[in-house]
């Protein structure tokens, strides 16, 4: 009953729409007439103004004659007389002064005001339409309601009431009595309508009564056989003849008035009354009569709006009959009583309206649009009801294929190829046949059907240039997308495995929406002219993206989903770049984020194999490569701000590099991760240099930093097999070489695109990473006592490299390493070894390790002397560290010498017994003094002299009080000889020494 009430309301709204449209048209005509009057008034005012200007010009011409007074525009006589120059050979006479011209008569004030006021353009708010409240108080709306709308509403309610009365089981009247009551009421309504229709005042009310009377008469003829409470006939054939006669009379009489409203009201009420009291299936024969009549009238009188209402009434009343039968049945259900006859009736409705559409001749665009709406509605309702009552879902493929073939074949007939019917029927037929394919391979029929129906509507609107069809098609497409994303996704999640055939609706929906959003507006630019349509196209693009993403997820297994998403993202990026489409670029960027999350949470933890091949390195590598390729076209134009457009392509490469680094982390052995990151950085650096890409180079630098950091946690702690090459050597040494290689490339390249690298001193950091790697390798690979020897050898190599290349950075590193030698030599070799000293002549003895280190440091002095720089540099370096390096770099030999002297002095103090320390230091001081004389360094000489004086003081303060007599003698002899010898040297080489002061 609720559906019946809704159907009544729908019919009422459709009937009320007709007078509303008529009233709107009349209002528009009145507004246009008023605008024409305004334009006439404006033109009249302009004519008056032009006449005044002409009259003024005439007066000026008269006044400018020779001898005439000059009158200005305001009509005042000028003080100076106008005397034109006489022409040669012509004698001019001065005529008497002309009389003053009459004053110019200005136009009426109202006309002048109208002439000055700008005339508003028609249809742009020049005469605003009165508001609803104003029209209500003026009586206009009240009159429309009382004279037009209320009579139709009343006749509808009256006819339905009589129909329900006839169907009611009232025993006092009996079937014949009820039929007689219905006939009397119908005759009364017809008679009164015919009588009052002749008078203009009652014409609208009378025509409503005529329509209601014929509808009631048709229902009484139907009830005589098919309504139990009013049944007086036992033969379906006789009842059919009676229905045909009444229907013919209804058509013939209502057509007399040439009113689509009257005829439509009669037919719609006939549909409602026939179906108000449910009967058997044979009772639907009344619908057959009404369908035939409506189809014939629509073709004959070109009342195509009536046909639209007829299609709705025929199929919806059939649904009203079907619903109580289908609803209690289990799903899926078998054939119910009357199933085949019901299918035949639906097919008859469909073919009847299809034939009506084919044979008609449309001459106006509006008629073609209404006809197109009718045929689309006819096909859609037919397919819907056939699917609703279907008892054989397995035959859906044959049904869609056959019905689509019929529509397509009819569209190719010569009678349809001359009209837009060719396009519409071809589209509908093709869509139905295409719909048949998923039914053969998938159960997701509803989503596919909606998508194709939506696209048919959209393309029909494009071809017919009808915005309603296009927007309706877009709305249905959005509805289908929601169905796919919610219902179909739930089905896939319940399955729990990848089912490629279930992805068909996702891909089809994405393809259709992308076509509507981007291809159609480019092919037909006028489609996006309105703001609503442009917004719908943008929304369609954003809806298509998740459809495609879910489609890839449904079609691919877990490891391959990220690869599919990355490939789809590459397609989006390239499309956005070529078409300059903002929406597609945004979708691609969002999809890249989903790809990364998928790889982090799924692919990197995947341990599955395919034919023995691990899938993790394959899938993650493919995703990284696709991200690198996508960066080529990721926002290559200024879709957003310029700064963002430059950073988003770099983000793609950063994401790809991150995935590659994580894959190496998961896939390689712990000790090989640093090597893998180093090789990745090397590849990124070379590509960045080749492509002049700053982001790729910075990714390489980050990879180098990560590999450098990792060696301190993993590689340097690795232990190798006895007798084999240590893993620390073949994993750390290549890193140091790579760091120095990149440093050299950067230092030797003076191109402009490396300006950012120079700004942050990247080459300096890489160089220090290289020396720290080598120094750390020496620290962990050498024996503890020989570490300073390795560092001393590195210091010698660094000083030699600084001298050979002229790069001060190696000098600075050598100086830092010499301080490290001093610290480790004192802390470990001299102090720690004092508790557990090695034998004097063993490999680990302190004199051997420290002595070799001192020898290497002193050997580096020959390069240090050549690297020293006494003059001040032009610009003082900024910062404490920079100033310290500059200070030490000017005299690097000082650092090497004093580090060596300190180590040797402490070594002698520890290794010699207490009585012989002063002797050893005295010998050392003489050697230092002689070395200073050879080098010509005053600081060296002063250090030797100071050490000698220290020995003298030590003898006086400590030695003579604690030492034995032999030791005292030896100490005194050696130190005394040393003091004397040094004094001799000072005297002998006085002039030479003055040169070094």
Residues 912-954 pLDDT 10s: 776 677 778 778 877 887 787 777 777 777 787 777 777 777 7
Predicted confidence at residue 700, as pLDDT, reads 95
Task: Check pLDDT > 60 for residue 81.
Answer: no
Predicted confidence at residue 373, as pLDDT, reads 83
3-state secondary structure 32-50: HHHHHHHHHHHHHHHHHHH
Alpha-carbon span 853 to 264, nearest angstrom: 114
Alpha-carbon span 21 to 13, nearest angstrom: 12
Which of 78-92, 148-162, 502-516 is predicted with the least confidence, judged by mean pLDDT?
A: 78-92
Alpha-carbon span 986 to 118, nearest angstrom: 115
Which of 62-76, 167-181, 584-598 is predicted with the least confidence, judged by mean pLDDT?
A: 62-76
Span 38-43, average pLDDT: 76
Span 797-819, average pLDDT: 91
pLDDT grade, residue 659 (50/70/90)? very high
Which of 269-273, 388-392, 393-397, 619-623 is predicted with the least confidence, judged by mean pLDDT?
A: 269-273
Alpha-carbon span 540 to 542, nearest angstrom: 5
* Dihedrals phi, psi of 77, to nearest 5 degrees: -80, 130
Predicted confidence at residue 4, as pLDDT, reads 37
Cβ atoms within 10 Å, residue 605: 10
Span 642-658, average pLDDT: 83
Predicted confidence at residue 156, as pLDDT, reads 55
Alpha-carbon span 772 to 809, nearest angstrom: 13
DSSP string, 296-330: HHHHHH--HHHHHHHHHHHHHHHHHHHHHHHTTS-
DSSP letter at 782? Answer: S
All residues at 6 or more sequence positions from 467 whose CB lies less than 8 Å from its CB, including other chains:
461, 530, 533
Report which listed range, 66-75, 453-462, 739-748, 951-960, is most confident.
739-748
Predicted confidence at residue 260, as pLDDT, reads 56
Cβ atoms within 10 Å, residue 590: 16
pLDDT grade, residue 625 (50/70/90)? very high
pLDDT grade, residue 834 (50/70/90)? low
pLDDT greater at residue 337 or residue 177? 337
pLDDT grade, residue 173 (50/70/90)? low
State how far the alpha carbon of 749 is from the alpha carbons of 488, 743, 923, in Å. Answer: 58, 10, 52
pLDDT in tens, 421-461: 777 887 788 778 767 766 665 555 667 777 887 888 788 88
pLDDT in tens, 256-309: 655 555 565 556 556 655 554 455 555 566 677 777 877 777 777 677 777 887
Please state the pTM of the whole predicted model: 0.60
Alpha-carbon span 641 to 582, nearest angstrom: 12
Pull the structure tokens for residue 364: 């106006």
pLDDT grade, residue 138 (50/70/90)? very low
Predicted confidence at residue 875, as pLDDT, reads 57
Predicted confidence at residue 11, as pLDDT, reads 39
Pull the structure tokens for residue 574: 């390239």
Per the CB < 8 A criterion, the answer to whether 846 and 910 are in contact is yes
Cβ atoms within 10 Å, residue 348: 15
Task: Check pLDDT > 50 for residue 552.
Answer: yes
pLDDT grade, residue 655 (50/70/90)? very high
Average pLDDT, the chain: 74
Span 370-387, average pLDDT: 86
Task: Check pLDDT > 80 for residue 849.
Answer: yes
In terms of Cα–Cα distance, which of 621, 752, 743, 607 is closest to 676? 621
Alpha-carbon span 907 to 911, nearest angstrom: 6
Task: Check pLDDT > 80 for residue 780.
Answer: yes
Q: 3-state DSSP call for residue 71? A: strand
Given phi > 0 = left and psi -120 to 50 = alpha, else beta, which region is 48?
alpha
Pull the structure tokens for residue 381: 């309702």
pLDDT grade, residue 620 (50/70/90)? very high
Alpha-carbon span 469 to 253, nearest angstrom: 35
Q: Which ranges constitute the DSSP H helices of 197-331? A: 203-226, 236-255, 260-276, 285-301, 304-326
The helix/strand count (H/E) of the chain reads as 42, 2
Alpha-carbon span 864 to 800, nearest angstrom: 8
Report which listed range, 35-44, 122-131, 243-252, is most confident.
35-44
Task: Check pLDDT > 60 for residue 400.
Answer: yes
C-beta pairs of 532-537 under 8 Å, 24+ apart in sequence: 532/471, 533/467, 533/470, 533/471, 536/471, 536/474
CA 676, 678, 682, 685 torsion: positive or negative? positive
In terms of Cα–Cα distance, which of 900, 933, 905 is closest to 921? 905
Predicted confidence at residue 241, as pLDDT, reads 63
Task: Check pLDDT > 80 for residue 117.
Answer: no
Per the CB < 8 A criterion, the answer to whether 673 and 712 are in contact is no
pLDDT in tens, 326-363: 877 776 667 777 788 888 888 988 898 888 888 877 66
Alpha-carbon span 35 to 41, nearest angstrom: 10
Task: Check pLDDT > 70 for residue 143.
Answer: no
Predicted confidence at residue 732, as pLDDT, reads 93
pLDDT grade, residue 115 (50/70/90)? very low
Alpha-carbon span 71 to 63, nearest angstrom: 6
Strands (E), 859-973: none
Task: Check pLDDT > 60 for residue 582.
Answer: yes
Alpha-carbon span 69 to 439, nearest angstrom: 101
Pull the structure tokens for residue 547: 């459809």
pLDDT in tens, 563-572: 999 999 999 9
In terms of Cα–Cα distance, which of 69, 72, 73 is closest to 94? 69
Task: Check pLDDT > 70 for residue 882.
Answer: no
In terms of Cα–Cα distance, which of 819, 735, 800 is closest to 771? 735
The DSSP bridge partners found for residue 77 are 71
Per the CB < 8 A criterion, the answer to whether 440 and 465 are in contact is no
Predicted confidence at residue 48, as pLDDT, reads 76
pLDDT grade, residue 208 (50/70/90)? low
Task: Check pLDDT > 80 for residue 896.
Answer: yes
pLDDT grade, residue 681 (50/70/90)? very high
Report which listed range, 37-51, 757-771, 834-848, is most confident.
757-771
pLDDT greater at residue 489 or residue 154? 489
In terms of Cα–Cα distance, which of 295, 274, 182 is closest to 226? 274
Span 705-723, average pLDDT: 86
pLDDT grade, residue 87 (50/70/90)? very low
84 exposure class (CB count in 10 Å sphere: 0-12, 13-18, 19+): exposed
End-to-end CA distance of the chain: give it in Å, rounded: 122
Radius of gyration in angstroms for the set of CA atoms belonging to the chain, rounded to a whole number: 53
Pull the structure tokens for residue 242: 């009676």
Alpha-carbon span 304 to 380, nearest angstrom: 18
pLDDT grade, residue 231 (50/70/90)? low
Q: What is the 3-state composition of the chain as percent helix, strand, coil, each rounded to the nearest 5?
A: 80, 0, 20
pLDDT greater at residue 412 or residue 152? 412
């Amino acid at each position: 009953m609720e559906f019946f009430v809704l159907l009544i309301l729908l019919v009422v709204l459709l009937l009320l729409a007709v007078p509303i449209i008529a009233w709107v048209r009349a209002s528009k005509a009145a507004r246009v007439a008023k605008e024409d009057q305004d334009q006439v008034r404006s033109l009249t005012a302009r004519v008056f103004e032009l006449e005044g200007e002409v009259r003024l010009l005439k007066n000026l011409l008269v006044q400018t004659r020779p001898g005439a007074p000059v009158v200005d525009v305001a009509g005042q006589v000028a003080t100076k007389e106008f005397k034109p120059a006489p022409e040669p050979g012509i004698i001019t006479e001065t005529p008497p002064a002309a009389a003053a011209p009459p004053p110019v008569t200005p136009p009426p004030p109202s006309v002048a005001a109208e002439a000055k006021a700008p005339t508003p353009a028609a249809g742009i708010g020049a005469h605003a339409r009165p508001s609803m409240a104003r029209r209500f108080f003026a009586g206009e709306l009240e009159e429309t309601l009382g004279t037009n709308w209320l009579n139709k509403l009343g006749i509808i309610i009256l006819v339905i009431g009589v129909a329900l009365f006839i169907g009611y089981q009232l025993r006092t009247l009996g079937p014949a009595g009820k039929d007689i009551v219905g006939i009397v009421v119908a005759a009364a309504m017809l008679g009164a309508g015919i009588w009052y229709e002749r008078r203009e005042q009652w014409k609208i009310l009378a025509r409503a009564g005529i329509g209601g009377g014929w509808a009631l008469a048709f229902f009484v003829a139907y009830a005589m056989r098919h309504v139990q409470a009013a049944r007086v006939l036992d033969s379906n054939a006789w009842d059919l003849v009676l229905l045909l006669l009444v229907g013919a009379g209804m058509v013939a009489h209502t057509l007399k008035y040439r009113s689509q409203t009257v005829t439509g009201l009669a037919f719609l009420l006939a549909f409602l009354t026939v179906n108000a009291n449910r009967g058997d299936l044979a009772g639907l024969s009344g619908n057959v009569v009404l369908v035939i009549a409506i189809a014939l009238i629509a073709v004959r009188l070109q009342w195509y709006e009536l046909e639209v209402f007829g299609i709705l009434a025929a199929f919806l009343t059939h649904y009203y009959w079907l619903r109580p039968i289908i609803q209690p049945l289990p799903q899926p259900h078998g054939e119910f009583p009357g199933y085949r006859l019901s299918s035949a009736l639906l097919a008859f409705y469909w073919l009847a309206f299809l034939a009506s559409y084919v044979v008609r001749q449309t001459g106006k665009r509006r008629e073609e649009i209404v006809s197109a709406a009718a045929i689309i509605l006819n096909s859609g309702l037919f397919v819907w009801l056939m699917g609703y009552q279907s008892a054989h879902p397995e035959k859906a493929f044959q049904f869609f294929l056959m019905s689509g073939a019929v529509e397509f074949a009819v569209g190719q007939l010569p009678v349809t190829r001359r009209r837009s019917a060719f396009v519409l029927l071809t589209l509908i037929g093709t869509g139905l046949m295409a719909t048949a394919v998923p039914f053969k391979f998938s159960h997701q029929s509803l989503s596919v059907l909606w998508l194709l129906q939506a696209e048919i509507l959209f393309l029909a609107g494009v071809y017919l240039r009808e915005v309603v069809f296009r927007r309706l098609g877009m709305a249905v497409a959005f509805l289908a997308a929601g169905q796919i994303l919610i219902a179909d996704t739930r089905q896939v999640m319940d399955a729990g495995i990848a089912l490629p055939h279930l992805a068909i609706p996702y891909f089809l929906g994405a393809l259709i929406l992308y076509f509507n959003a981007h291809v159609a507006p480019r092919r037909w630019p006028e489609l996006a002219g309105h703001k609503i349509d442009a917004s719908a196209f943008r929304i369609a693009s954003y809806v298509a993206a998740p459809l495609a993403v879910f489609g890839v997820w449904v079609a691919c297994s877990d490891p391959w989903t990220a690869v599919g998403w990355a490939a789809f993202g590459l397609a989006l990026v390239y499309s956005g770049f070529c078409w300059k489409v903002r929406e597609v670029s945004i979708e691609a960027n969002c999809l890249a984020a989903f790809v990364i999350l998928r790889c982090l949470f799924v692919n990197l933890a995947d341990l599955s194999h395919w034919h023995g091949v691990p899938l993790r390195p394959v899938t993650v590598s493919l995703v990284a490569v696709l991200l690198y390729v996508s960066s080529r076209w990721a926002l290559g134009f200024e879709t957003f701000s310029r700064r963002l457009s430059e950073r988003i392509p770099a983000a793609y490469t950063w994401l790809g590099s991150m995935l590659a680094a994580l894959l190496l982390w998961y896939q390689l052995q712990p000790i090989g991760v640093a090597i893998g990151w180093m090789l990745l950085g090397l590849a990124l650096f070379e590509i960045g240099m080749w492509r002049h890409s700053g982001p790729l180079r910075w990714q390489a630098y980050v990879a180098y930093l990560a590999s450098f950091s990792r060696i301190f946690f993993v590689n340097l702690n690795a232990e190798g097999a006895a007798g084999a090459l240590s893993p620390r050597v073949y994993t750390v040494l290549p890193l140091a070489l790579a760091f120095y290689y990149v440093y050299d490339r950067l230092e030797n390249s003076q191109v402009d695109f490396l300006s950012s690298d120079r700004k942050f001193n990247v080459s300096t950091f890489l160089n220090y990473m290289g020396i720290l790697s080598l120094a750390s390798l020496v620290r962990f690979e050498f024996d503890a006592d020989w570490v300073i020897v390795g560092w001393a050898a590195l210091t010698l190599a660094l000083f030699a490299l600084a001298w050979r290349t002229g790069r001060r950075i190696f000098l600075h590193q050598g100086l830092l390493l010499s301080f490290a030698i001093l610290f480790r030599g004192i802390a470990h070799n001299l102090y720690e070894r004092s508790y557990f000293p090695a034998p004097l002549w063993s490999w680990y003895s302190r004199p051997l390790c420290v002595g070799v280190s001192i020898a290497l440091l002193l050997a580096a002095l020959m390069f240090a002397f050549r690297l020293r720089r006494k003059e001040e540099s032009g610009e003082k370096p900024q910062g404490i560290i920079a100033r310290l390096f500059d200070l030490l770099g000017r005299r690097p030999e000082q650092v090497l010498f004093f580090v060596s002297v300190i180590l040797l002095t402490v070594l002698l103090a520890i290794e010699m017994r207490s009585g012989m320390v002063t002797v050893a230091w005295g010998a050392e001081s003489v050697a230092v003094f002689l070395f200073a004389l050879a080098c010509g360094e005053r600081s060296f000489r002063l250090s030797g002299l100071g050490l000698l004086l220290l020995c003298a003081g030590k003898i006086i303060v400590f030695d003579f009080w604690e030492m034995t007599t032999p030791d005292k003698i030896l100490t005194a002899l050696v130190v005394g000889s040393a003091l004397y010898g040094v004094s001799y040297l000072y005297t002998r080489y006085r002039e030479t020494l003055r040169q070094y002061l």
